[in-house]
Amino acid sequence: MRTTDPMSFGTRLDPGRLSIEDGDRLQRMRTALQAPGRPALVDATGRQIELPDPVFRLLCHVVEQVSAGRAVQLFPEHELVTTQAAANLLGVSRPHLVKLLEAKEIPFQKVGTHRRIRFADVAAYARKRAEERRKVMGGLTREIQEAGLYDL
């Protein structure tokens, strides 16, 4: 497995770096992807290639995000990332991430003396943390409503 630092990973699409022509192409793609039917790729010989559903949905999502001015970065799920990269992805400090790793909250492996984390495990932890937050916020909202302190 390859170790990747997401700040240097080659599949980052930053809308701020698009040329005017690329921005125009992006808007035409967005329109085409929203039209009825299924757009297809056309190869150099003019032959149409239909996109598989998962690829089509991913392409739609990427185009929407970039059109909205958000950068997009793709990672293979098996990709190993550094502790700093994982901390950046989770929005925590590297020392805090190391504590999570040592507490076995997130699986990791050692490569020499360095800890490496699979991107899929970082993403799974982020989803778990988001779900826990939703539950806590839902409980707080219910308590506030039951106390009559929240006016619908």
The string of pLDDT tens digits covering residues 93-128 is 999 999 999 999 999 999 999 999 999 999 999 999
Retrieve residue 77's tokens.
């799920």
152: in domain: no
Q: Which of 21, 51, 73 is the last residue of a domain?
A: 73
Match 């149409």 to its residue by tokens: 48
Cα–Cα–Cα angle for 70, 73, 75, rounded to 5 degrees: 155
Q: Which of 46, 73, 100 is the last residue of a domain?
A: 73
4: in domain: no
Are residue 69 and residue 89 in the same domain, yes or no?
no
Are residue 34 and residue 55 in the same domain, yes or no?
yes
> Which amino acid would we find at residue 36?
P
Are residue 68 and residue 103 in the same domain, yes or no?
no
How large is the angle between the packed helices 83-90 and 94-102, nearest 10 degrees?
100
Q: Is the pLDDT of residue 8 over 50?
A: no
The total domain count for the chain is 2
Q: What is the pLDDT of residue 148?
A: 84
Nearest alpha-carbon partner for 11 in 99, 75, 92: 75
- 85-120 per-residue burial string, b: 16 or more CB within 10 A, e: under 16: bbbbbbeeeeeebeebbeeeebebeeeeeebbbbbe
State the residue range of the domain holding 85.
80-146
